[in-house]
Amino acid sequence: MATTTYQGKPTAKERSVSAHSLRSDSAYQAYTLLRITFTVAPIAFGIDKFFNGMVDWEKYLAPWINRLMPGTGHSFMLFVGIVEIVAGLVVALKPRYGAYLVAAWLAGIVVNLLTYSGYYDIALRDFGLLLGALTLGRLAMKYDSAPLRLRR
């Protein structure tokens, strides 16, 4: 193995070897796939909340939630779209935090769907996605850069 420079920084050869070993690491590959998934999907679904191109999203909103939220179901779905876009961007930028944000959001969706008869299959699918987001969070603890620190 090549020696490290006197400043404690890895040499170019060490960085190349490290990058190659990461690319062949199956856990890192799973982390990368999950990171892409939980970046793209929330952003795509969030944008679609504004256009209803894939589905009429309001039909999935449980009536009790609609009664709790101010405004109309449509205006709430626009808010949901913004939250989903932000969650996807957080996963892209800082997956060790974004993964848990997406998992919490999916937990809310599952609760909504379980309390609204007729969408149990979608609740089960979203529960699976929630488990995937939690898996991304665990993998990000290893592969994401150091946690954010507050400056003093």
Q: What is the pLDDT along the chain (152 residues), one digit of tens a residue?
A: 455 555 666 666 655 556 667 778 899 999 999 999 999 999 999 999 999 999 999 999 999 998 999 999 999 999 999 999 999 999 999 999 999 999 999 999 999 999 998 999 999 999 999 999 999 999 999 999 755 555 55
Measured from the Cβ of residue 68, the count of other Cβ atoms closer than 10 Å reads 9
**Given its phi and psi angles, is residue 71 left (phi above 0), alpha (psi -120 to 50 degrees) or beta?**
left
Helix 73-93 and helix 95-114, axial crossing angle in degrees, nearest 10:
150
Tokens of 136: 């991304």
Q: What is the pTM of this model?
A: 0.81
Residue with tokens 């699976």: 128
Token reading at 5: 């420079």
DSSP string, 5-66: PTTSPPPHHHHHHHHHHHHT-HHHHHHHHHHHHHHHHHHHHHHHTTT-SS--GGGGS-HHHH
Between the alpha carbon of residue 103 and those of residues 88, 135, 143, the distances in Å are 11, 10, 18
DSSP symbol at 118: T
